[in-house]
């Protein structure tokens, strides 16, 4: 068996493995204990494959038919530049880090963004996450620092209260 990694489009059959990695990412980000990560393979399949307009797309790092990393992205819209790409997750199983897999996944999503007229890719990263160094190495600007943008959220009971 080869130890080489193939980067390819995610398939319906990959969603069980991707969901497992999403749960690992949630644990890494200290969110799983707060019951924030409610994702299931069935939801991934429904949202990404069982609809005429998939909500997300993905790339996977495949080694010997095992998904060892993934990138999930979707089309977003900027009123300044038009269509753009939002990278929701980029994750590589810790035992395979340092092999350039994250960079390969990241570049695949960047190529999708480059092909859009807007030529823009956005994502967020926790302030304490060492991946910030990786993203800066890839050429990213931290617009929290440079443009003072804040990433905000309204969900759960707060969203319910607002909509009463």
pLDDT per residue over 94-127, tens digit each? 999 999 999 999 999 999 999 988 899 999 999 8
In a domain, 126, yes or no: yes
pLDDT (0 to 100) of residue 35: 67
CB atoms within 10 A of CB 69: 24
Q: Write down the pTM of the prediction.
A: 0.91
Other beta carbons within 10 angstroms of residue 17's beta carbon come to 19
Helical (H) or strand (E) element with 134: helix 131-137
CATH number at residue 153: 3.40.630.30
- 66-78 and 57-63 as β-strands: parallel, antiparallel, unpaired? antiparallel
Three-state SS at 21: helix
3-class secondary-structure state, position 160 = helix
Report residue 33 as tokens: 């204990």
The domain tally of the chain equals 1
Confidence of residue 30 (pLDDT cuts 50, 70, 90): confident
Would you say residue 1 lies in a domain?
no
Give the model's pLDDT for residue 34. Answer: 52
How much is the pLDDT for 71?
98
Residue 25: what pLDDT?
A: 92
Q: Is residue 115 assigned to a domain?
A: yes
Provide the domain limits for residue 57. 6-163
- Asked whether residue 93 is assigned to any structural domain, the reply reads yes
Q: Is residue 49 part of a domain?
A: yes
Catalytic-labelled residue, pool 77, 96, 135, 151: 135
Instruction: Give phi and psi for 148, each to the nearest 5.
Output: 60, 35
Q: Decide if 28 is catalytic.
A: no
């Amino acid at each position: 068996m080869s130890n080489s990694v193939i980067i390819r489009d995610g398939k319906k059959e990959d969603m069980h493995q991707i969901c497992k990695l999403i749960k690992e990412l949630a644990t890494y980000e200290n969110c799983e204990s707060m019951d924030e990560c409610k994702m299931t393979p069935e939801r991934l399949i429904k949202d990404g494959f069982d609809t005429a307009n998939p909500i997300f797309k993905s790339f996977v790092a495949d080694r010997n038919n095992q998904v060892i990393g993934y990138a999930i992205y979707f089309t977003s819209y900027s009123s300044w530049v038009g269509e753009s790409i939002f990278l929701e997750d980029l994750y590589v199983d810790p035992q395979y880090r340092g092999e350039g897999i994250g960079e390969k996944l990241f570049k695949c999503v960047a190529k999708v963004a480059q092909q859009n007229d807007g030529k823009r890719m956005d994502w967020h990263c926790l302030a304490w996450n060492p991946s910030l160094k990786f993203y800066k190495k890839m050429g990213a600007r931290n617009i929290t620092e440079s443009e003072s943008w804040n990433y905000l959220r309204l969900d759960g009971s707060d969203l319910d209260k607002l909509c009463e």
